[in-house]
Amino acid sequence: MEIRDFYVTVGPAEAADLVREAISSSVSGRLVDQYVRTHGAQDMVVLIMEKYFMRTNNRATLTLVADNFDGKTKVRLTGSGGGEGAFLRFDWGAGANFSETGERALLPYKIELDG
């Protein structure tokens, strides 16, 4: 499992669109579900995506949660589920690769925070 937390300069919906486009551009990447909540000026978007990874002979998932609850957009990407078999959780880097793809799509908008 690979988790990445960071802030971006775009809103939650735009961040979700950018990641969805990056994942969907691959042959086996697809959106499984999308959930959106809006309350006044606050938004939250949850995406669940999956992609087939040949190295694990399995599908991995990427979950994106983007919200602007604290005045700027926070993004959390969690790559998981690419392990082989029922008990082996080692995914040969599929989770890290999947979450890296999502982060790379948002790199131009990423905010570097001090400390």
pLDDT beyond 90 at 74: yes
Query: What's the pLDDT tens digit per position in 3-16?
Result: 999 999 999 999 99
The per-residue pLDDT for 108 is: 97
CATH 3.30.310 fits domain 2-111: yes
> Does position 89 have pLDDT exceeding 60, yes or no?
no
Phi first, then psi: give them for residue 38, nearest 5 degrees. -130, 135
pLDDT at site 4 = 92
CB-based burial, 31-67: b 16+ in 10 Å, e otherwise: eeeeeeeeeeeebbbbbebbbbbeebebbbbbbbbbb
Decide: pTM greater than 0.75.
yes
Closest Cα to residue 20, out of 34, 9, 8, 10? 34
Q: Looking at the predicted structure, is the pLDDT value of residue 115 above 60?
A: no
Of 91, 94, 92, give the one whose Cα is nearest residue 51.
94
Local confidence band at 40 (pLDDT 50, 70, 90 cut-offs): very high
Return the half-sphere exposure (C-beta side, CA atoms, 13 A cut-off) of residue 6: 21
**CA-based nearest residue to 110, from 70, 65, 68, 74:** 74
pLDDT band at 96 (very low <50, low <70, confident <90, very high): low
Q: What is the DSSP letter of 1?
A: -
Confidence of residue 81 (pLDDT cuts 50, 70, 90): confident
CA distance 4 to 99: 7
